[in-house]
Structure 1
Amino acid sequence: MDFHKELDARGLNCPLPILKTKKALADMVTGQVLRVIATDPGAVRDFQAFAKQTGNELLALTDENKEFVFFMKRK
């Protein structure tokens, strides 16, 4: 999947991956896609809740070798 910006949140625990994602999305324009890599297992439900609360779209979520990759589309 194509993306415009990448955020490495590996090794960070809740709530840091979401806080850094929120900051990164704020610097982007509507329609751009942010790729986030995280290792916190709690990030899966956190990103789903974040998408619902903010209106930013969670386009995809994959789990690769205990790393979670999220693609978030800026609203």
Structure 2
Amino acid sequence: MEDEILNLLQENAGTPFSVKEVSKRIDRTQYREDPHWARPFLEDLVRMRKIISDAHGFYFQAPELDDGATRFLLRPAAAN
């Protein structure tokens, strides 16, 4: 399942995805039963540093440096 999520984020690099959007795009049948089914997979990918998430709960493909290392961006919280 992680590979499918990574492929979705790589194909749409720079596009933020919510948990519900990832869940819907990967498996609509499972989405109808539980719209948040992909959350554990997304959190595992964040812990493995393969993707990043922002303060609003959106997930992105982690940008890579020229040497193949992954760069993690710190995004400031939105001002109210």
**How would you bin the TM-score normalised by the shorter chain?**
0.3 to 0.5
Normalising by structure 1, we get a TM-score of 0.43
Structure having the larger proportion of residues in helix = 2
Normalising by structure 2, we get a TM-score of 0.41
Larger radius of gyration: 2
